[in-house]
Amino acid sequence: MMNMKLVSLFFLLLTTAACKKSVSNSNLQAETFLNVSYGSNSLQKMDVYLPAKRNADTKVVVFIHGGSFIGGDKSDYTALVEELYKKNFAVLNINYRLVDGSGLETNPITHKKSSILIQDQVIDVSAAVDFVISKAEDWQVSNSKIAVVGHSAGATLALLYSYGDKNTGKVKAVANLAGALDQTFTDLPNYNLLPPPILEFGYRYTGFEVSPTNEQYYKAISPLYVANAGKKINTLTIFPENNVVGAFPKQNRATFDAFTNRLNQLGISNKFVQIPGADHSFTTAGSVQLMFIELLTFLGSSY
């Protein structure tokens, strides 16, 4: 997850990259609502940031936190979403149900099926988007100018939703901040010798063992394979140059290039940006600022 003290420091230095503002004669004041429920589960909550002088053209951003699908919290990204809010976006910072991460650090590792899979988390993203649309009139924001943004696991969920069947034109743009793009393993040499936690993560994520016969379930949680010509969603991909995510494979530039090439082949409008010297969480000096400028520029013009 991101170092929020460092994020806050960089945002204090941020003086560039203004976004396009909606013209409005509204006298509405800025409002914030924390822990708003969008579903019946205790984790299905969002923090709602509504800018002043908003109207039916005010752009909406749904932000999805990272945490390897098993952890993390919306509060880890409060500094980032508040900066978007200050730039006159309505921002919904969401939590979602988590894959069971218990027993992954034991020796031997506990082998168990999770009641929540990545596909259930995509359902949560869909529910959050639908909730936002249902509240657009009350909140006085756009019900059609909606983008999803995520970091790490949250970026993967953002992409899976955007390119998936549940996005029936509801979301117009998606920003991928260092997401996992290819979560298949069986094409790797000696994949069965990957560290046991990685193989167990795969089982927890999908409900199926890592094996060639189950590859379809791993492709179904990989944006590289889910992207399709029927969902031409404007896409921003931001790659931190030093993108290391524990022992997880396929987090390198080659995988991100394969994803970009795939989008180009499908005719999906996209932009790829590499942040020099950045680590996975954008904690190196200046990297958060550079990432935010690119994100802000994209959101200001892509939908």
Question: Which DSSP helix (H) or strand (E) runs through 6?
Answer: helix 4-12
Residues 6+ apart with CB under 8 A from 176: 150, 155, 156, 158, 159, 223, 235, 236, 237, 238
The reported pTM is 0.92
Task: State residue 2's pLDDT score.
Answer: 52
Answer for the pair 181, 255: CB distance below 8 angstroms, yes or no: yes
Going from the C-alpha of 89 to that of each of 23, 84, 104, the distances in angstroms are: 13, 6, 38
What are the per-10-residue average pLDDT scores of the chain (303 residues)?
A: 48 43 65 98 98 97 98 97 97 98 94 98 98 98 98 99 98 98 97 96 98 98 98 98 97 98 98 98 97 98 95
In this prediction, residue 26 carries a pLDDT of: 59
d(CA 141, CA 130): 14
Q: In the prediction, which pLDDT does 250 show?
A: 98
**What pLDDT digit, counting tens, does each position of 25-58 carry?**
458 999 999 999 999 999 999 999 999 999 999 9
pLDDT tens per residue across span 110-120: 999 999 999 99
Q: Smallest Cα–Cα separation from 272: which of 229, 242, 234, 244? A: 234
Helix (H) or strand (E) holding 204: helix 196-206
In angstroms, the Cα distances linking 132 to 11, 206, 269 are 27, 28, 25
Give the pLDDT score at 9: 43
